A and B are shown apart, each in its own frame.
Chain A
Amino acid sequence: MKKVLIVDDASVVRLLIKKVLKQGDFNVVGEAVNGMDALEKYKELKPDIVTMDITMPEVDGIQATKDIIAFDANAKIVMLSGIDQKEMLWQAIKAGAVSYIVKPFEKDRILSTLNEVIIS
């Protein structure tokens, strides 16, 4: 089973993503509530993949992605955000994200994206 770290400031969103990932071949090994927490948990848990919200207090998802990539250039980070704007997509890719899912998300879309990212 592939290890996943979920990063989102809303507990209810983390719970929903966890429910979805349980239906696939994924093991949620940790949760982080902001970008700073995400980097610490990444170092500690070494997940295979990270789902990353963008709008979060203190350190946002774009900065957290840069920080994680600086620590591990091979980190696989999938952005999950309600922001559907070209410039933000570009910023996420430049930061090192490998994929971007726009909220509200579909269960199948999350599972298929994470599977594709793992295979690649």
Chain B
Amino acid sequence: MQISKEHLKILDIIVKISMDNASRSFSKTIKHAALIELVKTELMDISVITEEMNTDFREMVASILQLEGSLNGKLMFMIPLDGALILQDFYLQEEPGTAKEFDQLTEGTVQEIGNILASAIGNSFATSLGSMLLPTPPQVLCDFAGSIFEQFIFEECVDNDKILLTETKFRLNNTEIDCYFFLLPDLNTLEESLDKYENVTNINTCNS
């Protein structure tokens, strides 16, 4: 698995812009500030990242989607179960503590936040790369963090030792709740898209 340093740098910049947009959409959706605490894009060793995730014993709810278009990839929004209940209250504009148990509405909230974040990322990438990128309907999972993460990267593990992963950590303002957003781009379509992006940028620079 290879990606050039230049492409990694371009991806990092596009991801940061995308996550700023996603954070605004997220905050507007829940009428509460979702602050970005970390954004990183790295080529990671699968065994290291899975071992790290397996030490997190929190029960999580996650929404997994595919991104389809000129750039393919997988996206995942993940939040601890107790945080998902508070997220549901924010989304429905109820007093925090109203939602007591995980149910269809909690699942729907995580599904919708995943959809909003994925759409915001798709919109930003589409603007940068000049093509249409659409999210698929989300699949919602409830399990331990490590198990969910393994399911997220399962297909990548078959052929590779490393994955290119972007990780974003949000903190819901005035709460102790952290939530996570991962993007796992498909390297073949990523390289093609970034090549086109580079060419267009070069042409524009020459013309100006």
Give A contacts to B, CB under 8 Å.
9-13, 15-16, 19, 55-57, 81-85, 87-88, 103-104
Contacts and interface: CB of A to CB of B under 8 A. Distances in A.
B137 A83 contact: no
B112 A12 contact: yes
Contact of A13 (B28, B112, B122, B132): B112
Contact of B108 (A12, A88, A103, A104): A12
A14 B95 CA distance: 19
- By secondary structure, the A interface counts as loop
B41 interface: no
B136 interface: yes
B166 interface: no
A8 B12 CA distance: 33
B119 A15 contact: no
Interface residues of B, number: 26
Contacts of A88: 132, 134
Listed residue (A82, A84, A88) with the most chain B CB atoms within 10 angstroms of its CB? A82
B116 A15 contact: no
Contacts, number: 67
B133 interface: yes
A11 B25 contact: no
Contacts of B108: 10-13
Interface of B: 25, 28-29, 88, 91-92, 104-105, 108-109, 111-112, 115-116, 118-120, 122-123, 126, 132-137
Given A12-B105, A82-B116, A104 B135 contact: no
Contact of A9 (B120, B126, B137): B137
Nearest to B134: A83
B91 A12 contact: yes
B109 A57 contact: no
Given A12-B104, A13-B112, 16 more contacts: A9-B111, A9-B137, A10-B112, A10-B115, A12-B92, A19-B92, A55-B115, A55-B134, A81-B119, A82-B25, A83-B122, A84-B119, A84-B123, A85-B123, A104-B29, A104-B116
24 contacts: A9-B137, A10-B111, A10-B112, A11-B108, A12-B91, A12-B108, A12-B109, A12-B111, A13-B108, A13-B112, A16-B92, A55-B134, A56-B137, A81-B119, A82-B115, A82-B135, A83-B119, A83-B122, A84-B119, A85-B133, A87-B132, A103-B25, A103-B119, A104-B25
Nearest to B111: A10
Contact of A103 (B116, B122, B126): B116
